[in-house]
Structure 1
Amino acid sequence: MVTIYDIAQHANVSAMTVSKVINNTGRISEQTRKRVKKVMEELNYIPNSNARSLVLQQTKILSLLITDITNPFYTSLARGAEDTAKRLGYRLLFGNSDEDYLKEQDYVDMVLSTRVDGVLFAPAGDQSLKNLEKLMAHKIPFVILDRAVPGIESDIVAGDSKEGARKLVDYLIELGHSRIALVNGSLEVSTARLRYQGYAESLKLQGIELDHELIIQKSYRDYKDGEYLNQLLSNPSPPTAIFAANNFLAVGVIRALRERGIRVPEDMSVVCFDDLDLSSALDPFLTVASQPAYLFGAMGMQLLVERIQGNSTPDIRKIILPSDLIIRSSAQALTSEYV
């Protein structure tokens, strides 16, 4: 195995000079630096990352912890984070909490034992406070993605969930719907709270009374059980449209409707927050409030690296990304028979 002493001998410099070239430290002439690097290439030398981390107090390894890798939103977010990390000279470790605080805690413990330089963190919910406080106690820089956590002040890249929800509900109201159900995530998650607020505000501004019987709260991942539809459909005045607070919930809604012989959009209009995966582009169907998921990861990673390298303002940075209303065929104007 080639060592720095072999490099030093071939380049006719000291081992200390080779070390400075590898770690990009100290004052070395450009001519000497080029000569050492040329010898490193000729001898196929690969620096020992563990040794470098001891010298620089950095591992050049970052962690991305998300809540559901199967969700297309987080898949695209992860791609943005990985591409940016690679461009900035970092490697990325992935973790998936499955919206589970205890699993999230296990990943945080792994992060601490791995000695990563920083963490991009999409919290499972409000209870993630303890896990984030553990990172703070160990002075691990982090940037929060998508979901805010009460009690934590940090750099964050999030979407405008309230405004996106209002766009969707306003659109349904424009189509003539006033009985609009909300199938939402747990209110222990900030995005679910904001989407509920946007839904409620849109109804209020249009003079439509909020009916709590038309609101379902569940986990964002709990989309396979469609029994909640029985509650909505058995209402004396059932909904004519459903707003699903994320893409997985929308898939569950449509599946449950079809199992009951209810057509979308002919019998029930459906809209949702976040788009589906690329396969849906072959036959675009759902009307959605689409978020720039790739940018969440890319911008979050940029903020994290700037924080690690000390190139950022000491002030907390908060980036809110807007959503785009994409109108497709899953919602239609209410016919006279429903009015």
Structure 2
Amino acid sequence: MTTVREIATNIGVAPSTVSRALSGSSRISEQVRDRVLREARRLGYGRGRSVPRVGAVTLGVAFLNKYAWPQFTGYDSLILAGMVRGAREARSDVTFVDLQQRLHGESYRSFLAGRGVHGLILRVDDETHGVAIDIAKDGVDIAVIADRYDEPDVNFACCCSRNAAQDVVQHLIGLGHRRIGFCRNNVLDRDHRDRLDGYRAALEVAGIEVDDQLHISRPADVAGGAAALNAFLSNAAPPTAIFFTDPLMTVGGLRRAVELGVHVPNELSIVGVDDGDDTRQMTYPIYTAVCQRSADLGVQAARWLARTCGGDQSSERPLRLVLEAYLEVNQSTAPPPAQPVRMTSHGQRIS
């Protein structure tokens, strides 16, 4: 078992200095603190059951993806609910952390320790993907939700929807569709890249050339889905089926189809995504969906991180949890019409 004295001897400081660094005391310099924390992490200090943490574990939660804060609708609200459940099961506390309050030059480890946070759960997108790597390098125990990493110190829990996305596009191809629209969130993250990869893979297997005019991005909300449907149907050669990669966009597309008098699925097939709150069951027709259990990501990440920060040696490290999404075929798909529906940009039907 690693001791405070062993850490102190290895880096040439007094045991009291090590104790102050580990407790988050402000009475030592950041340079010394970082040396202590790096050595403690290297030696695995605090991982054994014989080194209990004083008091309850507090998990910090930071949403660094563009569209989460402060709405917390859909996917992110499900993840957050899962985090709270997982932390409660592990008898831990959860608190929100604003990393922008970190002082210039202040380490992440020191910043979090000063707020009584023992581990951090992160939600990122492509723009903030690297922040998790920086925090892990600083010696902080973290778990990232909805992304994947090769770095051994970056733990993660995510859903993989690539295969299910390929399945849903192959389902449409099997019905006879050849022009299939694809609409994704205009802020890329791992989930939407997985779905784009699955879409392209299905077309490639079927020998269908990817048409860039059938791949668009819009905000991941109801209005974005409606705008996407307008764009697709005003195309000179409109699609006969559309894959929306977000639940709210799917709902927006279905609603806009009703407003335009386009019958789903006889005149247009629509498929989408359901993050686990049964959105697909709330539309008419019930839409065919790539389904994933988003709340489980929050549960598993929080449960694992709480046990790890609490010194539970049985917690597998690193965390590499990948839950596979699955296809559910419902009522929103059918063979393509003899002639695709085409609209003007103002919503007037041409064909």
TM-score (norm 2): 0.68
Matched, 1:80 2:77: no
Question: Which moves more between the two structures, 202-211 or 279-288?
Answer: 279-288
Which one-letter code corresponds to 2:305 in the other structure?
L
Is the Cα–Cα contact under 8 Å of residues 162 and 198 in structure 1 kept in the other structure?
yes
Question: Which moves more between the two structures, 147-156 or 178-187?
Answer: 147-156
Determine which structure has greater relative contact order: mean sequence separation of CA pairs < 8 Å that are 6+ residues apart, divided by chain length: 2
In structure 1, distance between residues paired with 2:291 and 2:129? 28
Is the Cα–Cα contact under 8 Å of residues 105 and 131 in structure 1 kept in the other structure?
no
Q: Percent identity?
A: 22
Q: Deviations over 1:265-311 (max 9, x none)?
A: 23211111224745764667121111012221121122212331342
What residue number does 1:204 align with?
Answer: 204
In structure 1, distance between residues paired with 2:190 and 2:242? 21
Matched, 1:298 2:294: no
Note the C-alpha offset of 1:90. 0.4
In structure 1, distance between residues paired with 2:191 and 2:267? 29
Note the C-alpha offset of 1:162. 1.0
What residue number does 1:318 align with?
Answer: 320
What secondary structure does 2:191 align onto? Answer: helix
Alignment of 1:31-110 (within 5 A): 56=53, 60-66=57-63, 67=65, 68=68, 70-94=72-96, 105=100
314 and 266 in structure 1: CA distance in 2 versus 1, 3 angstrom threshold:
closer
279 and 269 in structure 1: CA distance in 2 versus 1, 3 angstrom threshold:
closer
Note the C-alpha offset of 1:127. 2.2
Note the C-alpha offset of 1:211. 0.5
What secondary structure does 1:76 align onto? Answer: helix
Is the Cα–Cα contact under 8 Å of residues 183 and 243 in structure 1 kept in the other structure?
yes
Question: Which moves more between the two structures, 211-220 or 260-269?
Answer: 260-269
What residue number does 1:265 align with?
Answer: 265
What secondary structure does 1:115 align onto? Answer: coil
Which one-letter code corresponds to 1:72 in the other structure?
G
* Structure 2 spans left out of the alignment, 5+ residues: 1-51, 103-107, 342-351
Is the Cα–Cα contact under 8 Å of residues 267 and 340 in structure 2 kept in the other structure?
no
* Structure 1 spans left out of the alignment, 5+ residues: 1-54, 96-102
Note the C-alpha offset of 1:225. 6.8
What residue number does 2:253 align with?
Answer: 253
What residue number does 1:6 align with?
Answer: none
Q: Deviations over 1:196-234 (max 9, x none)?
A: 111000011011111010000234358447434343223
Which one-letter code corresponds to 1:155 in the other structure?
N
In structure 1, distance between residues paired with 2:53 and 2:246? 43
Note the C-alpha offset of 1:240. 0.6
Which one-letter code corresponds to 2:265 in the other structure?
P
In structure 1, distance between residues paired with 2:214 and 2:87? 43
Which one-letter code corresponds to 1:127 in the other structure?
E
Is the Cα–Cα contact under 8 Å of residues 85 and 91 in structure 1 kept in the other structure?
yes
Structure showing greater Rg: 1
Is the Cα–Cα contact under 8 Å of residues 63 and 94 in structure 1 kept in the other structure?
yes
Is the Cα–Cα contact under 8 Å of residues 276 and 291 in structure 2 kept in the other structure?
no
In structure 1, distance between residues paired with 2:145 and 2:215? 26
Matched, 1:145 2:145: yes
Is the Cα–Cα contact under 8 Å of residues 143 and 154 in structure 1 kept in the other structure?
yes
236 and 301 in structure 1: CA distance in 2 versus 1, 3 angstrom threshold:
same
What residue number does 1:241 align with?
Answer: 241
What residue number does 2:308 align with?
Answer: 307
In structure 2, distance between residues paired with 1:228 and 1:209? 21
Which one-letter code corresponds to 2:62 in the other structure?
L
What residue number does 1:122 align with?
Answer: 123
Q: Deviations over 1:80-133 (max 9, x none)?
A: 2222211211012257xxxxxxx774699985652211122121x122145425
What secondary structure does 1:78 align onto? Answer: helix
What residue number does 2:333 align with?
Answer: 331
Is the Cα–Cα contact under 8 Å of residues 159 and 291 in structure 1 kept in the other structure?
yes
Is the Cα–Cα contact under 8 Å of residues 149 and 190 in structure 1 kept in the other structure?
no
279 and 165 in structure 1: CA distance in 2 versus 1, 3 angstrom threshold:
closer
Q: Deviations over 1:27-57 (max 9, x none)?
A: xxxxxxxxxxxxxxxxxxxxxxxxxxxx946
TM-score (norm 1): 0.70
Is the Cα–Cα contact under 8 Å of residues 129 and 151 in structure 1 kept in the other structure?
no
Count of residues in correspondence between the two structures: 277
Note the C-alpha offset of 1:79. 2.6
Which one-letter code corresponds to 1:294 in the other structure?
A
In structure 2, distance between residues paired with 1:213 and 1:104? 39
In structure 2, distance between residues paired with 1:129 and 1:288? 27
